Structure 1
């Protein structure tokens, strides 16, 4: 008899017992019903078996435990609940390999005789509960006698209807991961069934089926023989792919985007990866894929992709605050799937500098972003930005018009390449002197990320991130400034260590994060470079506790930063999650800005601090306070940072 058949018979027997018990209760005890409490209160305890996993399974299987405080019932229903628990707990005990074990449920009163031991067949439970006075609680104790642990005996894989035994390949045996002598734990036996089914399908057996395993008990040897009926079916390729549900999206774009094609080996993993890639376009609320036939069609399996398109227009808001940059916020409007090929147009208007210690007044930022996926090639995105901004930092006051055209190219699983052309027309005032600049540049950068986190708001808990860039630039200054040619080089790396790897924490709850930043400008001196193109430090991106652009050479003993041609900074941060929704962090930052082109020159500034985290479904809300340990003259005494997501 299979486990499934056994469970069905047990449930049928359980239902019959409850009906008979109800009839017995009504026929034998009609005159005593008014004496007992309705509902009948009780408390339940479960005696530990010494196996934490088994204890958890018993606790999860017990209706007495789960319904103790949420669903009070009268004596008759409570008796049925107790008898039902016997069956459920026995199944849980056997699922851990204890087929000779026994469940014992006992009822106790504060005063008076205890109930007889309940063995699942007892008919005296209801009558005993009926003798309990009103308002008196019953104490229920559940214990399990494990008995001997059964192990797996012979394991057979049979192909019906011939009954021929199949011999698994080495790869299939590794996926099966089941052998004679293992404890007869149900989850491992059922898990092997699922793993083998998945492997057969990944090998192209799209119609592979494995029936629920049959178990044959041998009490004398304390073993369990297992038989799997396996029907591999033929090896199939992907057949015709149909698309349904598309309204504003061009089917030709989807077909070009698909990473699977007819004639390719049928593999569920690659099929789902293709589905997820379409989801990542951001224009669908759901993408579902299913086999379009219940049988093979000319040696293939057709597929159907069904799409539910998301809303095409969205109005949003964005906001952030730090004591140095003040309040930055505004609204944006986004048009998705602009021309039917997943293009995106975003227009935003923001104000900045409200209540800022590093700015001299209110600024603004207006921009329009256009994104076109698969620009003359797979995984190559075109981005265009036009932007007008005004920034009134203590270091300089800038009014500028910017334009940038860039291409982002995915290189493999973890690498991305970005390159393009940019231009700036700006007016910059620094230390009372105003100059106009026209700057043309060719930015190029490469990034690596193996953290497995695609959304930057979600904190990384392991892996490594690296971003390296070079920006050759030509600056044409106003009268008296001249022309300069220079290249900005920068690199930022971060890595994350989860203490769960050392067995001292749960995964993702205790994490060390490290960050390092290097920058240099080659080809021109500090004063030959426009002020907004120089290197600065201070703030959440480099050294917290110091205001934005508060680290580096200063103009005399003022708060005005000059900027430099070299930068280096580093961070050590510890992040600890508490309970389910809260956490805290502690950090120490250090960095310096120099007037030489080589890094590690200048005055090292160190800041430290910590903050709180509130974890939401979209990411943590962050509140950090940083304090400078060796602040410069007229430097800030502390800084507050509020944002969504971790700093890095």
Structure 2
């Protein structure tokens, strides 16, 4: 008898072990949704419940295990009820069955070997409306959200939004310690109404105290305070607090910036703010590459050091080699460095010094150049910044028409940038404008003048998912003052290539000096339009048209010569921006023929 029982136990253990092994080795049968029934004719309600359901998501995953199916079903009870509450249904009943058994009744540690089918049934009951909707007191001039009123659907999201809005109003009025002091929510199931009474305790009007740094940093404390520009002694403002955090983050010296309001006020209703910082790694490098069938390959790289001298200074060195394998000109080289010191002239006012050397071998000219300069920049807001500098520039250039020439300039470059794009590398909405002006004086001659350039871009998307984007660009530039012969090539303008008119050869449109010699013009206008369509989350296509104009004289002084190009592009979205492939051909002008292609990272503009 004992042997017989032992044999039975061994047999059962063997079967269990084999079943376990097979369950691990063989793929489990896919979970299916047998039905998802919602007792309503409201399609939006049914869609919201299905989107919230983890069981539906588990059924879409071919690798869902029985344990995963049970976990999803058990979590769905609360998720679906919360979704009902969010839409104003407070007497709903949720039933979830797995292979005919109520999910909540299945033991977690005694799972069936397989779960093949799930059925979900939701009886939402009637939608409740707000019978009483009161919140008081509110900050002067503040009003509750539109949906918080008697007779409106009693959505729980609206209730939370109402509390958040009331708290926000008092905080913006300087009452940092406002709190929800009373809440009464009563459901009347016979009348399907929800009565809500909310009370706020504003507390005193608070002024900022000290900014207290709570941990060590490689950046000097005095410089941290200078960068932060903490408004000690002023009335509390959450916007000012966020501005302090942004100032510290944009230095790049910190990987984390945390501001925490003190729990208790000091005498006089003064509130200190604690600052916790985590230093960023001091060094960083990056690289990029672009290829064009006509302009060849461009390779670029940079090396950056954050917090060079302990004051969050940022040193960046950029190097670039371009024109590798180009059909015109030779290989161009450039090396540039810039040292930026945040809050050098006070909060939001940075100081910088820079220098660069370059050697360009283009089809129409050779140019060697050295620049050194110093200046200041100011950040007016998250979207607007400007800078000005004083610069010395030496240029040596040679071309077939003018021969070898030397220039020594004192320049005053000034620029302003207004950036309202939603994404720098892949914008779908907003606009971008950058305007540059550079008065200049030749120190080796008596010539003086002004060069200006403006680049404006606008983006508009269609639909909530922004799968169709219209993008436009306008570039305008002109140089006032000296004649063409008294200006170096980089003070002039050419058109053609990836940055101006795709499909036309690089710098193919300029001013014809005769004898096959081409010079840049004193004025330039460029216009571009794109239609960008997302086929999938990763792949998109683009159609584009570009046009450019070059004039020998200043802008609008005379008619210039135009050319144009058009083509199609392919985009593959990555975590660092889309990879770009554009194929274009000339559609106007006589400066080129054939097809050109361009490869790079980020949208063309």
Q: What TM-score range do you get, normalising by the shorter chain?
A: 0.7 to 0.9
**Aligned match for 1:630, one of 588, 591, 594:** 588
Q: Deviations over 1:36-85 (max 9, x none)?
A: 999887521323644455334423554533444554338xx988986875
Structure 2 counterparts to residues 76-475 of structure 1, below 5 A: 89-103=80-94, 139-157=117-135, 166-169=136-139, 171-174=141-144, 178-210=148-180, 213-294=183-264, 296-358=266-328, 360-411=329-380, 414-431=383-400, 434-453=403-422, 457-475=424-442
Tell me, yes or no, if the aligned pair for 1:463 and 1:495 is still in contact at 8 Å.
yes
Task: Output the CA distance in 2 between the equivalents of 1:334 and 1:88.
Answer: 47
User: Cα distance, 1:288 vs. partner?
Assistant: 0.7
After superposition, the C-alpha distances for 1:552-595 in whole angstroms (9 at most, x for unaligned) are 2335574x532112211211112223322222222111111112
Secondary structure of 1:196's match?
helix
Deviation digits for residues 121-140 of structure 1, max 9, x if unmatched? 9x8x99xx99x9x98x7544
Q: Is the 8 A contact 1:370 1:383 kept in 2?
A: yes
Aligned match of 1:5: none
Structure 1 CA distance for aligned equivalents of residues 497 and 520 of structure 2? 14
Match of 2:453 in 1: 490
Task: Return the alpha-carbon distance in structure 1 between the equivalents of residues 81 and 301 of structure 2.
Answer: 60
- Residues 426 and 280 of structure 1, relative CA distance in 2, 3 Å threshold: same
Say if 1:246 and 1:309, in contact at 8 Å, map to a contact too: no
Report if aligned partners of 1:259, 1:274 keep a CA contact under 8 Å in 2: yes
- Asked if structure 1 preserves the Cα contact closer than 8 Å seen for 2:219 and 2:307, the reply is yes
> How far does the alpha carbon of each residue in 1:70-128 deviate from its partner, in whole angstroms, 9 at most, with x for none?
54338xx98898687556544533442223444455778xxxxxx69x7x99x8x99xx
Q: Which residue of structure 2 lines up, in the alignment, with residue 577 of structure 1?
A: 534
User: Against the structure 1 CA distance between its residues 60 and 296, is the aligned structure 2 distance closer, same or farther, given a 3 Å change threshold?
Assistant: farther
The 2-side partners of 1:487 and 1:88 are apart by: 65
Contact residue 398 and residue 426 of structure 1 kept, 8 A = yes
Residue 150 (structure 1) shift: 0.9
Task: Give per-residue Cα distances to partners, 1:158-183, cap 9 Å, x unaligned.
Answer: xxxxxxxx443563323586111110
| In structure 2, C-alpha distance between the alignment counterparts of 1:260 and 1:224, rounded to whole Å | 45
Q: For residue 25 of structure 1, what is the aligned residue in structure 2? A: none
CA contact (8 A) 1:572 1:588 kept: yes
Q: Relative to structure 1, is the Cα distance of residues 410 and 63 closer, same or farther in structure 2, using a 3 angstrom cutoff?
A: closer
Count of residue pairs brought into register by the alignment: 576
Q: 1:440 to 1:107 in 2, by over 3 A?
A: closer
Give the Cα separation in 1 of the matches to 2:475 and 2:483: 21
Task: Give the corresponding residue for 2:596.
Answer: 639
Mapped to 2, the partners of 1:276 and 1:513 lie a distance apart of 29
Describe the shift of the 1:449–1:472 C-alpha distance in structure 2 as closer, same or farther (beyond 3 A): closer
SS in 2 for 1:47: strand
Any conservation in 2 of the 1:437–1:475 contact (CA below 8 Å)?
Answer: no
What are the ranges of 5 or more consecutive residues in structure 1 without an aligned counterpart?
1-32, 109-114, 158-165, 500-504
RMSD: 3.5
Q: Deviations over 1:329-351 (max 9, x none)?
A: 24433222122222222233332
Q: TM-score, normalised by structure 1?
A: 0.79
Distance 2:429 2:71 in 1: 50
Deviation at 1:369, TM superposition (A): 1.7
Contact 1:396 1:430 (8 Å CA) reproduced: yes
3-state SS, counterpart of residue 217 of structure 2:
coil
Where is the strand percentage greater, Structure 1 or Structure 2?
Answer: 2
